[in-house]
Structure 1
């Protein structure tokens, strides 16, 4: 408990005290241990935005924990991956959930896994825009990564569909991220 409180205080201090960013640790959402890990060098030059499609949007911490566990189980048990594929999941509850984290190679964007942070907005964002608190948490998470040397200050932000053939991150979310700072259509 002491460590979790200290981590939260460090996040608040690092973001100037005005942030509402809440990063839930792997222990906090009951993550399984990975079967293996590979270290990634920071800062990374890319941020890749995803949506989960399924599971759908989660509006409470309990539902978002279920969604993170469901994604991890699918990625490990069905795909045979070492862990959940994403660096972070962000719920409609406004929390960021640590997946592989800042410095572990993900399994979310072939060709970019070792040089990107993969952020999954939990939910299907084909026809709807994620709630404002979910979008705000993504912006704050990226800024936290930049401020702490995990993401390059000159990073390029892309939708998953720009690095592989997919509908991810959903049409409506994809349209939204095209207005974000650092967005690039040609990674």
Structure 2
């Protein structure tokens, strides 16, 4: 798949993601249905990762950030934006890859960063080894992500539990809860504070 057909496929997947995803009756080794709307690295044409440090799973924490840059609301613009974030982290800052495990677009899709099994560089040396880092692409100080982006993030969290990467009683934290930062922005912060797993 390439070009427009690939983008249309991801849009269709985003529309098929259930609002309250679950995982029952899956055969061992199968990908949970709630994990289906994930844009893998090869689809957004990621640079090769140079990261080697594994994340010890299952993890207890999830840290939510925003990129504080431009938002994107179509598969084409989000593909470009996730490439921009990776280029900044890997080429400008010299990190081994994009710093987040996953990135959320306003198109309602989840973009694979370092993925479930590689330690991120999103929240400092204490939190990186024991958390999954999720970043919403955009600046959410004065505006909120659309509902489809919120649903994508919640589906991703359900996927993490279903696949055994997150413990069922995981704790969700905002980036500003653990570091001196405005991330994930005032508006997104107010949203995630109402999620059931949020702990300040």
Partner residue in 2 for 1:101: 115
Residue 144, structure 1, aligned to residue 159, structure 2: yes
**What SS class does the counterpart of residue 65 from structure 1 fall into?**
helix
Asked if 2 retains the 8 angstrom alpha-carbon contact of 1:102 and 1:117, the reply is yes
Asked if 2 retains the 8 angstrom alpha-carbon contact of 1:21 and 1:141, the reply is no
Tell me how far apart the structure 2 counterparts of residues 36 and 137 of structure 1 sit (CA, whole Å). 26
Tell me how far apart the structure 2 counterparts of residues 66 and 52 of structure 1 sit (CA, whole Å). 14
CA displacement 1:138-165 (0-9 Å, x = unmatched): 0000001001101111111000011111
Counterpart of 2:82 (choices 60, 68, 81) is 68
Q: In angstroms, what is the RMSD of aligned CA positions?
A: 2.4
Residue 77, structure 1, aligned to residue 83, structure 2: no
**What SS class does the counterpart of residue 171 from structure 2 fall into?**
strand
Tell me how far apart the structure 1 counterparts of residues 33 and 49 of structure 2 sit (CA, whole Å). 34
Q: Which runs of 5+ in 2 are unaligned?
A: 25-31
CA displacement 1:55-87 (0-9 Å, x = unmatched): x11111111111111000000112111000000
1:95-174 equivalences under 5 Å are 95-110=109-124, 111-174=126-189
Tell me how far apart the structure 2 counterparts of residues 137 and 52 of structure 1 sit (CA, whole Å). 16
Task: Please give the TM-score of this superposition, normalised by the length of structure 1.
Answer: 0.88
Task: Please give the TM-score of this superposition, normalised by the length of structure 2.
Answer: 0.83
Tell me how far apart the structure 2 counterparts of residues 41 and 19 of structure 1 sit (CA, whole Å). 22
Partner residue in 2 for 1:182: 197
Partner residue in 2 for 1:46: 61
Partner residue in 2 for 1:33: 48
Tell me how far apart the structure 2 counterparts of residues 15 and 95 of structure 1 sit (CA, whole Å). 19
Please identify runs of 4+ aligned residues in structure 1 that moved more than 3 A: 11-21
Q: Which runs of 5+ in 1 are unaligned?
A: none
Tell me how far apart the structure 1 counterparts of residues 127 and 118 of structure 2 sit (CA, whole Å). 13
Asked if 2 retains the 8 angstrom alpha-carbon contact of 1:21 and 1:137, the reply is no
**What SS class does the counterpart of residue 65 from structure 2 fall into?**
strand
